[in-house]
Structure 1
Amino acid sequence: MQMKLLLFFLSTFPLIFALNQDGLYLQRLKHSLSSSDQGVFSTWYENDPTPCNWTGVTCNDAGDSPSVIAVNLSGASLVGPFPGFLCHLTSLSSLSLSNNFINSTLPVSISECGSLTYLDISQNLIGGTIPDTISDLPYLRYLDLSGCYFSGNIPASLGRFRQLETLILTENILTGEVPAALGNVTSLKTLELAYNPFAPSLFPPELGNLTNLETLWLSMCNLVGSIPKSIEKLSRLTNFDVSNNGLVGSIPSAIFQLNSIVQIELYNNSLTGKLPSGWSNLTRLRRFDVSTNKLNGTIPNELCELPLESLNLFENQFEGLIPESIANSPNLYELKLFSNRFSGSLPSELGKNSALQYLDVSYNTFSGKIPESLCEIGALEDLIVIYNSFSGNIPASLGNCRSLLRIRFRSNKLFGEVPTDFWSLPHVYLLDLFGNAFSGNISHMISGAKNLSNLQISRNKFSGVIPSEVGKLKNLVEFSASHNELTGELPDTLVQLGQLGTLDLSFNELSGKIPLGIHTMKQLSELDLANNGFSGEIPEQIGTLPVLNYLDLSGNYFSGEIPLSLQSLKLNKLNLSNNQLSGMIPAVFDKGLYRDSFRGNPGLCQGVAGLCATKGRGQHEGYLWTLRAIYTVAGFVFLVGIAMFIWKYQKFKKIKKGNTMTKWTSFHKLGFSEFEIPVGLDEANVIGNGASGRVYKAVLSNGEAVAVKKLWERTVKDETPYGALESDKDEFEIEVETLGKIRHKNIVKLWCCCDTGDSKLLVYEYMPNGSLGDLLHSCKAKLLDWPLRFKIALDAAEGLSYLHHGCVPPIVHRDVKSNNILLDDEFGAKISDFGVAKIVKAGSKGGVESMSVIAGSCGYIAPEYAYTLHVNEKSDIYSFGVVILELVTGKRPVSPEFGEKDLTTWVHTTLNEKGVDQLLDPNLNSSFKKHICKVLDVGLCCLNQTPANRPSMHRVVKMLQESVPCNVPEIKNKNGKLSPQYFPKSV
């Protein structure tokens, strides 16, 4: 009997402890999707009777037979195809798989998930078309497919939903028109279609039928035409965002029927006319943004009487006064009115009743005083009032505004002394007082401005000495104080500013000598001390500054000889004129390129040695010298005549061959002739080939080397790497227009351009170490240790930051890649190849322009650029992120080892599945792992799928600088010698 009982128990054991059917389907999910997160499935035990206690699983309360009603595996790093078999969970009502790496397509069988009320598969790699059958889910109320790769049209069948309340399709690759059929889903409360490359289409008036709608987000949907009157029926709408489209016409008065509206976003369209009347009806309105349109007229007083939090009217044609009532809003934190025609004074109590954070009223004709109350509640961060006619003193109250980050008073009529406490605000990183009438001293309290990186006080009436405390501003990058009345000597502490790139103290009354130790200022690229009273000898140390390219010491009392060390500098500008210098001009400068750099120095000998007359000799000796001079001149004229004959003959031959130089434009003072360039274009001198042309190394008669790009001949319909040329300007014109105006240490220098009739030539400075791509992806990669790679990344970032933030208007490179980052003899990095660069026009919407074709290189192109053809600085930032991945991994952006993936996808997948150790280039020293990971994080920020979430290049530079460890060990190279320390000493 006991044996029979034992056998019965054993036979029923699998039935007692076996998983139910729902658990088996979930086990199938576990095995079909992989995850680098070890904890995701750690509680999914196969010997459990039900899955109701598993992480991410919720069951109903059904006694002995519970069913799975919800599965939530968001952010679980899941990789694999969409698990359509989950539709066999008959009670499943909620499925959330967002923020994973699920790929393939959404199956037609999704309609079998008949109990679903909630479906969220956003932020995945899933693509293809949205299946028509999805609208067959009868109970579905929430559908989020955002941040994926869905393409094609939005199915008209979606109009069949009857209970759907939320539809989110943002950030996909959807085309076609915004479907009018969506107006049939009257149950909708949220409709978000933003950031899709739809075909140009009208704002569907049928959307006015969505009377339950609360959120309508149609930003960057390529909408054209006017805003339809039918929106007046959306009485429950709280958020209305149709920004970044091509909408025209006036703002309809129907908008005042939106009684529940909280936020209206109409920026970056082409709306015209005045703001209509009726704002008093919108009692809940908190944010109103109509910036970057073509609106005009005045601001209605009734708009300013609303309890607004944010009012953005910038880049329009508004005029008149700002109503005083705006200052009464208890919620106002942001007021941006720049680039309009406003006049009069700012409201006297602005900032008194609200925590104002951002105020920008630049480029108007405001006058009067800066209000005392701007920072009364202590929240103000940005105070920008440049290019107006404000007058009076800086309010003393602003000296206590410790929340300030940016202060810009440039080009106004402000005067008086700057409050002492104002100099020492601890968080300010930009202080711009340029072009006013401020007086008094630079306060010793300036040492308290620990975060200050940019100090611009030029063209004022500041007097007294430069305080030694300036040397404590370790983050200072620019110090411009020209055209003031400063006196005394330069403080010795200036040489402690290791990050200083620009020092401009010209046109003051300073005296004394240049401080010893200036050679420690390794980042100094511009030194301008012109028109002061400096004396003594020019320090030899100046010649050791590695990135100095602008040196102006003119109009002083410097004496002695010109240091020979200056010959090692790569200068865009050199001016030592009007001093008391003597001796011979160094050989490098003794040529036409620098002929105006030494005027007003009677003791200098310029020209061939031996032609400088020696004073004090007798008359006879002078007579003999005169004869020698006559014979020399005659011989010289004879030789010139022969040379001219030969030149004319050669020119005649070139004309016959069609190779004459028809156009020659130089952008710097040159020490060579245009006819030297074509002669050096020998096939033996080819150093590179690209899609646009061939690059030669040409050695000139003076021994210098230049790089010459000979562009391929193109027909009108010839193509760029990705399609037809997108404008009347060819690559030659674009590069000349862009590079011809740029002066920066991290941008390759364009010496000149030539048109020889049958070919076009661009002459650059020669970069002996070639491109980063060629070096990094070759057998020489081991030469690039981590400190050197980091230096290259930082140099390139600073070059791009200059293009985006230092150029007016900004320049978008559009082909940022490792092959377009060139390395000089000290491995300094410079951005090159501007053949497809784009100058962002002032009228473009938010800095976004639409291109007719894609420009760029495989593996580097930002996803939104690839499918929208919208280009702005964010596209460059994405490409720079790929460059960082190259530096960290040592791998190319596209490679057979990735299969159908690119480097970006491979890095994300590998990082999640195997960890960071599997990413790092084995050539890199593991002792730098912590810092490499920080730089990798910066790169991943640049690669954010959403352009708006990518940091600016200015911020990228700061992030790279801030990534540097406080104590970095010294590194030895293979020869046992100490390598240069490339990390900044302070950030």
Structure 2
Amino acid sequence: MPRRREFCNFRRRRLYFLMLLVFLSPSLVLCLSKEGFYLQRAKLGFDDPNAVLSDWDPRDDTPCKWNGIVCDSATGSVISLDLSSSNLSGPFPSILCRLKYLSSISFYDNFINSTLPEDDLTMCQALEHLDLAQNYLTGVLPGRLADLPNLKYLDLTGNNFSGDIPTSFGTFQKLEVLSLVENLLDGTIPAFLGNVSALKQLNLSYNPFSPGRIPPELGNLTNLEVLWLTETNLVGEIPDSLGRLRRLTDLDLAYNSLTGPIPGSLTGLTAAVQLELYNNSLTGELPSNGWSNMTSLRRLDASMNELTGPVPVELCELPLESLNLYENNLLGELPSGIANSPNLYELRLFRNQLTGILPPNLGRNSPLQWIDVSTNNFSGQIPENLCFNGVVEEMLMIENSFSGEIPATLGECRSLLRVRLGHNSFSGEVPAGFWGLPHVSLLELVGNSFSGGIAKTIAGASNLSQLILSENNFSGVLPEEIGFLDSLMEFSGNDNKFSGSLPGSIVNLGQLVKLDLHNNAFSGGLPPGIHSWKKLNELNLANNEFSGEIPGGIGELAVLNYLDLSGNRFSGKIPAGLQNLKLNRLNLSYNHLAGDIPPLYAKGMYKDSFLGNPGLCGDIEGLCDAKEGKNGGYVWFLKSIFVLAGLVLIAGVVWFYMKYRKFREVKQTLDRSKWTLMSFHKLGFSEAEILDALDEDNVIGSGASGKVYKVVLSNGEVVAVKKLWGKSKLADESSDLEKCNHQDDGFDAEVGTLGKIRHKNIVKLWCCCTTRDSKLLVYEYMPNGSLGDLLHSTKSGLLDWSIRFKIAMDAAEGLSYLHHDCVPPIVHRDVKSNNILLDADYGARVADFGVAKVVDADGKGTKSMSVIAGSCGYIAPEYAYTLRVNEKSDIYSFGVVILELVTGKLPVDPELGEKDLVKWVCGTLDQKGIDHVIDPKLDSCFKDEICRVLNVGLLCTSPLPINRPSMRRVVKMLQEISARNQTKNVGKDGKMTPYYYEDVSDQGSVA
């Protein structure tokens, strides 16, 4: 992982080596060869914390045994230097070019910085291979590199080179590989690269080029085998000239804005192994002719476009390995020829308008691993031979019109990992073997007409974490074996016909987060031992026939925030321990409960939680009617006294009322006009309903700018109301940095920002109410509060990695909308975990725009602020000393939020010492490794994905703003991380190594 070295350490080491050379005896100096002396000089320029150069001993007579050095066996001359991944820092040692026979230099994955010495490099006349990928080089590309007559391999991937590609790069004589991936190159992709006739690999991916077309001149590169132009801001159509690249094996044009159809000329690329055109804006139809010429085509990805028409028959007759056409507008049936592809392992067609049946032989002749045809109009049955070769891992078919039974053969498909058959028309009983597949983690059958019961074979489903059977016709009792599923996190069996008692073993499900069995016919009491569900967040047993007392153990479920036991036959008292819970929903209505309601819930706001329990008593209107009847005479007497006193009082003041009637009318008119309401959405409530609910019992939070109230409206909806502090209150607290040195209460910024933007991941501002002295902001209510409160509280165990990742993705999409889709862009300026709110499903909303600013319309993208806005630990380093604000400031803050999600630690905490979270993470990674950074509450099975997300957080918190990715790029990286289908990453040699997409159609589920 990258580290910054203290300059004084570097100076100290360099002085040490200089003194060493000075005081060495003449005999030792003379024994070292001239090449060894040059290498010693190069060593002096490096900071070498890992001592990889420790064996570079000046007392040796030859450097040929030194680490990283290769010599010619005949002449003894140094011909290769490879110090890859050595943690070296310092400028490029140009003295290496004095090694006359040096043909290969690799400093891949180090901290080589500064600029490349253009003139000195021209001395490397023997150089054939130069790999400086993944370093910190800056400046423009050295144009004189083209003067090296023997250079064949040039990899400058992952640096900070900027400017245009030099014109001289079109004059390389022998260059075969040119890789400039992940730099800051601008301009457009130059046509003169088509003159480098020896090129076999050209990789310009992930650069912020200006919008431009693919140069037709690239079609002149007849030796080209690999062409990667991923995310290079390409526009227009794919040129026909690419059809002349007969040796092309790999073409990647992903993440651009290409338009038009896939040109028929590409069918001439008979050696193409991979054609990826996804996430563009291609329009038109897939060409239906010419595909038969592409006899070597193995992988086609044209997903996330606007393609129309049918899937070409000729395409499906090719021996494909992977076919990705998802998220288009394709119509018609899937050609049956696809079932004959002998090597097909991946088929993803989700989110189209395809119809008809799946080919009956699909899977019989191929090693099919991943199939996703979700959200289409397919019908018929699941192909019986889908798992004929026993390697299917993902079978995703949600939201279609499939029918019939699950084939019995799938009950033997032990390779399955994920099954989603929801929202179809399946029926019949589920095969017994299907229940017990040992590797399935997700089994979703929701919204069908399945019948029968859960087989005892479910004991074998040892990896099952989500069992979703809702809205079917399942019946019978739950088998005792369901308690053997140690990994089960969600069991949703609502809206079925299950009956009998819950098995006693169900309390053994220690990982259970959600148990939803409402709308069934369960009976009997709840089993003892419920307190063992330490991670349970939602318990819904409504509308069954449960009886007995409510177990007191429910009060020990520390993270429970949803409890619905309504519509049953529970009796006895409400356990006082329920007051230990922080519930967002409580419903005990329509049971046979009696006694006093626990004081915490004996309030009017909980009235609907206790309806239909005649024996319950509490300080809530409508309850204890029976008790009132027992003392009816006494109550009647008291009422009579109060009525008489009221009549006397009314008679006494009637003359006063008549005398000042006019004055009263004027006062009422003034009161009605006191509040001004400004709405931003269609409202179903008035300001009066809001004002009546602003009492201390409804306060749910208090922050830098005011108090927040939870208001339950008459229509059943819930809103959050922020009442801003008065000016005096703000003035008293203006010294606190976290309160951003407010010069006002943020009201204008909040209204001006939220009032005009609409996005699913930005908190919704319903309206605002103002008077001369008070200001109210009415938002949608977020039941799970803020991410910061939840993550850094005792409820943090509720946030497993899947939920944390979903929160990161949602927040990233919200910020991306502000930065890229708002005109002009909006900078939030106070991104932090406390300003990310969570709804009931843990969907995230970016909130609190009190210090948000619109970026200057002059296109410069920066704005100077008179004071610092933000919160300690989240403020970008350059913002603190320049007061220049742009989108990069938000990106840094979001990176800190990612580090919070990964580590579970606060951005500033005494536990971290004098370091903030960013410095702590970098230091701990270097000294102790990744295992000491990741939150121990997170499941280790997600370690690989967590590491990838951590890398995104470190990119976002780069000290140099120019190195931070845009929020749009952050969203793309997070989407790629969550994915399980083959895509690409930049590797050591500049190539893209594959990993796999999670199905994109699987939104909101545990990955």
Q: TM-score range by the shorter chain?
A: 0.7 to 0.9
Q: TM-score, normalised to structure 2's length?
A: 0.75
Task: Specify the alignment match of 2:375 in structure 1.
Answer: 363
Task: Specify the alignment match of 1:68 in structure 2.
Answer: 78
- Determine if the alignment matches structure 1 residue 800 to structure 2 residue 804: yes
- Determine if the alignment matches structure 1 residue 282 to structure 2 residue 294: yes
- Of 344-353 and 903-912, deviating more is 903-912
**CA pair 306-120 structure 1, distance change in 2 beyond 3 A:** same
Secondary structure at the aligned position of 2:43 is classed as helix
Q: 2: CA distance between counterparts of 1:894 and 1:177?
A: 46
Q: 1: CA distance between counterparts of 2:891 and 2:389?
A: 35
- Determine if the alignment matches structure 1 residue 504 to structure 2 residue 516: yes
What one-letter code is carried by the residue in structure 2 that aligns with 1:55? N
- Of 464-473 and 754-763, deviating more is 754-763
- Measured after TM superposition, the shift of residue 289 of structure 1 is 0.5
The total of aligned residue pairs comes to 870
Q: 2: CA distance between counterparts of 1:819 and 1:12?
A: 61
Aligned residue among 269, 276, 295 for 1:258:
269
- Measured after TM superposition, the shift of residue 464 of structure 1 is 1.0
Aligned residue among 488, 499, 502 for 1:476:
488
What one-letter code is carried by the residue in structure 1 that aligns with 2:690? E
Q: Is this contact kept in 2: 1:442–1:467, CA < 8 A? A: yes
Q: 1: CA distance between counterparts of 2:393 and 2:944?
A: 28
Q: Is this contact kept in 1: 2:492–2:515, CA < 8 A? A: yes
- Measured after TM superposition, the shift of residue 44 of structure 1 is 1.8
Task: Specify the alignment match of 1:87 in structure 2.
Answer: 97
- Measured after TM superposition, the shift of residue 96 of structure 1 is 0.6
Q: Deviations over 1:929-956 (max 9, x none)?
A: x99x999968745547696776988799
Q: Is this contact kept in 2: 1:388–1:412, CA < 8 A? A: yes
Aligned residue among 5, 9, 21 for 2:34:
21
Task: Specify the alignment match of 2:472 in structure 1.
Answer: 460
Task: Specify the alignment match of 2:822 in structure 1.
Answer: none
- Determine if the alignment matches structure 1 residue 441 to structure 2 residue 437: no
Q: Is this contact kept in 1: 2:906–2:917, CA < 8 A? A: no
Q: 2: CA distance between counterparts of 1:98 and 1:551?
A: 56
What one-letter code is carried by the residue in structure 1 that aligns with 2:37? L
What one-letter code is carried by the residue in structure 2 that aligns with 1:247? L
Task: Specify the alignment match of 1:226 in structure 2.
Answer: 237
Q: 1: CA distance between counterparts of 2:665 and 2:602?
A: 27
Q: Is this contact kept in 1: 2:754–2:849, CA < 8 A? A: yes
Secondary structure at the aligned position of 1:170 is classed as coil
What one-letter code is carried by the residue in structure 1 that aligns with 2:804? L
What one-letter code is carried by the residue in structure 2 that aligns with 1:185? V
- Determine if the alignment matches structure 1 residue 35 to structure 2 residue 44: no
Q: Is this contact kept in 2: 1:851–1:869, CA < 8 A? A: no
- Measured after TM superposition, the shift of residue 904 of structure 1 is 5.3
- Determine if the alignment matches structure 1 residue 416 to structure 2 residue 420: no
**CA pair 699-620 structure 1, distance change in 2 beyond 3 A:** closer
Q: Is this contact kept in 1: 2:112–2:137, CA < 8 A? A: yes
**CA pair 267-663 structure 1, distance change in 2 beyond 3 A:** closer
Secondary structure at the aligned position of 2:523 is classed as strand
**CA pair 875-293 structure 1, distance change in 2 beyond 3 A:** farther
- Of 23-32 and 623-632, deviating more is 623-632
**CA pair 408-588 structure 1, distance change in 2 beyond 3 A:** same
- Determine if the alignment matches structure 1 residue 208 to structure 2 residue 222: no
Where in structure 1 are there 5+ consecutive unaligned residues? Answer: 1-10, 714-718, 742-749, 776-786, 838-849, 957-986
- Of 754-763 and 627-636, deviating more is 627-636
User: 1:919-958 alignment to 2 at 5 Å?
Assistant: 940-943=950-953
Aligned residue among 96, 113, 125 for 1:103:
113
Task: Specify the alignment match of 2:562 in structure 1.
Answer: 550
Q: Deviations over 1:231-282 (max 9, x none)?
A: 1221111111111111111111111121221111110111111111110111
User: 1:361-400 alignment to 2 at 5 Å?
Assistant: 361-400=373-412
- Measured after TM superposition, the shift of residue 547 of structure 1 is 2.1
**CA pair 640-769 structure 1, distance change in 2 beyond 3 A:** farther
Q: Deviations over 1:10-40 (max 9, x none)?
A: x9983895222211111122222123333x2
**CA pair 160-836 structure 1, distance change in 2 beyond 3 A:** farther
Aligned residue among 756, 765, 769 for 2:770:
756
**CA pair 561-894 structure 1, distance change in 2 beyond 3 A:** closer
Q: 1: CA distance between counterparts of 2:759 and 2:650?
A: 37
Secondary structure at the aligned position of 1:570 is classed as coil
Task: Specify the alignment match of 2:306 in structure 1.
Answer: 294
Secondary structure at the aligned position of 1:730 is classed as helix
User: 1:601-620 alignment to 2 at 5 Å?
Assistant: 601-605=613-617, 607=620, 612-614=625-627
Task: Specify the alignment match of 1:841 in structure 2.
Answer: none
What one-letter code is carried by the residue in structure 2 that aligns with 1:880? I
Task: Specify the alignment match of 2:165 in structure 1.
Answer: 154
Secondary structure at the aligned position of 1:271 is classed as coil
Q: 2: CA distance between counterparts of 1:639 and 1:117?
A: 108
Secondary structure at the aligned position of 1:240 is classed as strand
- Determine if the alignment matches structure 1 residue 887 to structure 2 residue 898: no
- Of 353-362 and 250-259, deviating more is 250-259
Aligned residue among 753, 777, 782 for 1:730:
753
- Measured after TM superposition, the shift of residue 376 of structure 1 is 1.3
Task: Specify the alignment match of 2:70 in structure 1.
Answer: 58
- Of 729-738 and 83-92, deviating more is 729-738
What one-letter code is carried by the residue in structure 1 that aligns with 2:183? N
User: 1:686-697 alignment to 2 at 5 Å?
Assistant: 689=704, 694-696=705-707
- Of 106-115 and 286-295, deviating more is 106-115
Secondary structure at the aligned position of 2:511 is classed as coil
Q: 2: CA distance between counterparts of 1:953 and 1:883?
A: 15
Q: Is this contact kept in 2: 1:593–1:670, CA < 8 A? A: no
Aligned residue among 534, 537, 557 for 2:546:
534
Secondary structure at the aligned position of 1:264 is classed as strand
Q: 1: CA distance between counterparts of 2:293 and 2:251?
A: 16
Secondary structure at the aligned position of 2:690 is classed as coil
**CA pair 35-239 structure 1, distance change in 2 beyond 3 A:** same
- Determine if the alignment matches structure 1 residue 271 to structure 2 residue 282: yes
- Measured after TM superposition, the shift of residue 386 of structure 1 is 0.4
- Determine if the alignment matches structure 1 residue 486 to structure 2 residue 495: no
Q: 1: CA distance between counterparts of 2:134 and 2:388?
A: 43
Q: 2: CA distance between counterparts of 1:82 and 1:488?
A: 75
Q: Deviations over 1:391-421 (max 9, x none)?
A: 1111111111111110001011111111111
Q: 2: CA distance between counterparts of 1:272 and 1:409?
A: 31
**CA pair 852-399 structure 1, distance change in 2 beyond 3 A:** farther
Q: What is the root-mean-square deviation of aligned Cα atoms in Å?
A: 5.4
**CA pair 567-382 structure 1, distance change in 2 beyond 3 A:** same
Task: Specify the alignment match of 1:404 in structure 2.
Answer: 416
- Determine if the alignment matches structure 1 residue 137 to structure 2 residue 148: yes
- Determine if the alignment matches structure 1 residue 675 to structure 2 residue 673: no
**CA pair 832-409 structure 1, distance change in 2 beyond 3 A:** closer
Q: 2: CA distance between counterparts of 1:872 and 1:321?
A: 47
Q: Deviations over 1:518-565 (max 9, x none)?
A: 222122121111111111222233233222222221221122333333
Percent of aligned pairs with the same amino acid? 42
What one-letter code is carried by the residue in structure 2 that aligns with 1:51? P
Q: 2: CA distance between counterparts of 1:686 and 1:572?
A: 14
- Measured after TM superposition, the shift of residue 82 of structure 1 is 1.7
Secondary structure at the aligned position of 2:506 is classed as helix
- Measured after TM superposition, the shift of residue 576 of structure 1 is 2.2
Secondary structure at the aligned position of 2:612 is classed as coil
Q: TM-score, normalised to structure 1's length?
A: 0.76
Q: Is this contact kept in 2: 1:187–1:212, CA < 8 A? A: yes
- Measured after TM superposition, the shift of residue 442 of structure 1 is 0.7
What one-letter code is carried by the residue in structure 1 that aligns with 2:241? S
Q: Deviations over 1:630-653 (max 9, x none)?
A: 5699899999999x9999999866
Secondary structure at the aligned position of 1:273 is classed as coil
Q: 1: CA distance between counterparts of 2:177 and 2:895?
A: 33
Q: 2: CA distance between counterparts of 1:136 and 1:794?
A: 61
**CA pair 804-511 structure 1, distance change in 2 beyond 3 A:** farther
- Determine if the alignment matches structure 1 residue 46 to structure 2 residue 58: yes
Q: 2: CA distance between counterparts of 1:632 and 1:220?
A: 82
